[in-house]
Amino acid sequence: MESIQFYDTTLRDGTQGEKINFTANDKLKVALRLDSLGIHYIEGGWPGASSKDWEFFQLAAGQPFNNAKLTAFGSTHKHGIRPEEDRQLNAIIESRVTVGTIFGKSWDLHVEKILDVSLEDNLAMIHDSVAYLKENDLEVHYDAEHFFDGYKDNPEYAAKSVAAAARAGADAVVLCDTNGGSLPHEIEQIVGEIRRTIDEAAGRPIRIGIHCHNDANLAVANSIAAVRAGASILQGTINGYGERCGNADLISLIPIMKLKMGYKDCISDENLANLQRVSLFVSETANMTPVNSRPFTGKSAFAHKGGVHVHAIMKEPRAYEHINPELVGNRRRVLVSDMGGRSNVEYKAKELGIRLDRAGSSQIISEIKRMEQDGYQFDVADGSFRIIMEKLSNQFKPHFELESFRVTIEKDKDQPAHSHAMIKINVDGEEEITAAEGSGPVSALDNALRKALYHVYADILDPVHLVDFKVRVIEGREGTAARVRVLIETRDEESIWSTIGVSEDIIEASWQALSDSFQYKLAKIKGGPENGEAYASADAPGNEPGKTQ
């Protein structure tokens, strides 16, 4: 069984996704985190086409990479000039990397109608570009752009294009499903057919790579199909970021290869357990909200809501989980709602270290059903359930208490509205009164609360910031008097959590969710009221916190 290597292109192909943008320093931080994960190749960008990418390679040159080979990207040389005169090829060499990856055309449609050169000239450009990089002592990967579409239209020419790269000395030929429209059985068949052609052209066995886009939602499946046919280098991005619908998601491919396909040595057990942290780190750096339903590492990936499911996993987790969530750094979550029963409540109490008797769990179930009738959703605010259980079992001790708050909004004729908030809270027996401005009433409340807490909890609250704010009208028939549900998402350097508030007044509901977010963070760091370890252990990245009443 040939070893599997992972080739990450988050910093190049991933940045072509909508709303994805990294500074050069961001790219360096992500590259170092990918290296620590055990990724084999990290494609840092296109130094011949982007000044920011060139800056990244200059920064990266002074950094040690312990596991990964840093890779620079470019294209075959321009038509009509020699490879040694091509700015992009020379930029790869001058970027001081050990691996160069270039793409070229495999689809005759692109050659004749997009590139506007002859079929023979395109083959020469592929061959000479690869050969030039090899002459400069680089490991060379050749990305055959649009290979599968080209092979389906004109298999003879597509085969010639990759053979040209192999004859020139390419260390790996990467077959690209650039439009993302191929199906797994097509990928497996074509990779199997082309392997011999590539090896014969090279005069030696040559590594095959696969690069899939997700336009048909099959990028991961197509990558698996390619591995079954002999591909051993898997290109993809963290969280599947990329152009249009994205690329193959390495966050799924890595555990699939190790845990499902039998490639035990593709990543260490220790690094696999950091997979969720890396996923969250990259989403945070890219300023993208994590997808809860992301397989393996999403906070909903091992969440159980139905009472039948929870009853089963209490006896045998394998009954409803395809892997142990801790293998990828995730954790099992039991959601509590009116769909759940006593098993859900008792499981959560045990998980959080809260002592409940049978009467106590019945009381909690009744209270949950009542509150969900009022509009609360505890399956999206797991920590709310923690606070409720602590309150109902007389174990809740807040880290601050609200005395009062006042919010005012000013609107001048020609100026945007300004919000001001004044808060009076009690912290450890001391009264704190602060005021602050903000871009809106919730922002002003957030700023005022931070000021009031900072002199006691500055180190704890510095990395905390809000990342999402959602408002839903629960029942619209009451018009402006309808109850609203506010869900606030907050994150720090390593975790993300959600809190909830419900009221007829949107500001009051917002305050409930906002204050709960801070209560949760402080309890997590300082320890829970009766069992500090419960808060610490429950804060696997992606966990959700609670609200106070």
In this prediction, residue 542 carries a pLDDT of: 37
In this prediction, residue 369 carries a pLDDT of: 75
At 44-56, the pLDDT tens digits run 999 999 999 999 9
In this prediction, residue 299 carries a pLDDT of: 87
Lowest mean pLDDT among 22-26, 157-161, 261-265, 373-377: 373-377
pLDDT higher than 70, residue 262: yes
What whole-number percentage of the chain has pLDDT above 70?
91
Taking residues 427-450, report their average pLDDT.
Answer: 91
Taking residues 295-324, report their average pLDDT.
Answer: 88
Architecture of domain 401-537: 2-Layer Sandwich (3.30)
Taking residues 84-102, report their average pLDDT.
Answer: 97
pLDDT higher than 80, residue 539: no
pLDDT higher than 50, residue 529: no
CB half-sphere exposure, 75, CA atoms < 13 A: 11
Q: How far apart are CA 358 and CA 346, in angstroms?
A: 9
Taking residues 64-68, report their average pLDDT.
Answer: 94
To the question of domain 5-285 being in CATH 3.40.50.720, the answer is no
In this prediction, residue 538 carries a pLDDT of: 38
What whole-number percentage of the chain has pLDDT above 90?
63
Strand order in the sheet with 418-427: 401-410, 418-427, 430-438
47-76: burial string, b at 16+ Cβ within 10 Å, e else: bbebebbbbbbeebeeeebeebbbbbbbbb
Angle at the Cα of 40 from the Cα atoms of 36 and 44, rounded to 5 degrees = 85
Identify residue 470 by its one-letter amino acid code.
K
Confidence band for 481, pLDDT divided at 50, 70 and 90: low
CB half-sphere exposure, 509, CA atoms < 13 A: 23
User: If you ran DSSP here, which 8-state letter would residue 15 be given?
Assistant: G
Q: Is residue 486 within 8 Å of residue 470, measured between CB atoms?
A: yes
Q: Is residue 334 within 8 Å of residue 325, measured between CB atoms?
A: no
Contacts 24+ apart (CB under 8 A), 360-365: 360/392, 360/393, 363/392, 364/388, 364/389, 364/392, 365/340, 365/341
In this prediction, residue 548 carries a pLDDT of: 30
Lowest mean pLDDT among 213-217, 222-226, 293-297, 341-345: 341-345
Give 525 or 158, the one with higher predicted confidence. 158
269 burial type by CB count under 10 A (0-12 exposed, 13-18 middle, 19+ buried): exposed
In this prediction, residue 405 carries a pLDDT of: 95
pLDDT higher than 60, residue 339: no
Pairing of strands 207-212, 484-491: unpaired
In this prediction, residue 360 carries a pLDDT of: 67
Lowest mean pLDDT among 5-19, 200-214, 219-233, 299-313: 299-313
Taking residues 430-457, report their average pLDDT.
Answer: 91
**What are the domain boundaries of the chain?**
5-285, 303-374, 401-537
In this prediction, residue 522 carries a pLDDT of: 84
In this prediction, residue 421 carries a pLDDT of: 95
Lowest mean pLDDT among 239-253, 260-274, 500-514: 500-514
Confidence band for 337, pLDDT divided at 50, 70 and 90: low
Confidence band for 184, pLDDT divided at 50, 70 and 90: very high
At 239-252, the pLDDT tens digits run 999 999 999 999 99
pLDDT higher than 90, residue 350: no
Confidence band for 480, pLDDT divided at 50, 70 and 90: low
Q: How far apart are CA 393 and CA 530, in angstroms?
A: 11
pLDDT higher than 60, residue 125: yes
Identify residue 128 by its one-letter amino acid code.
D
Residue 160: enclosing H or E segment and its boundaries? helix 155-167
Q: How far apart are CA 360 and CA 125, in angstroms?
A: 75
Taking residues 138-160, report their average pLDDT.
Answer: 98
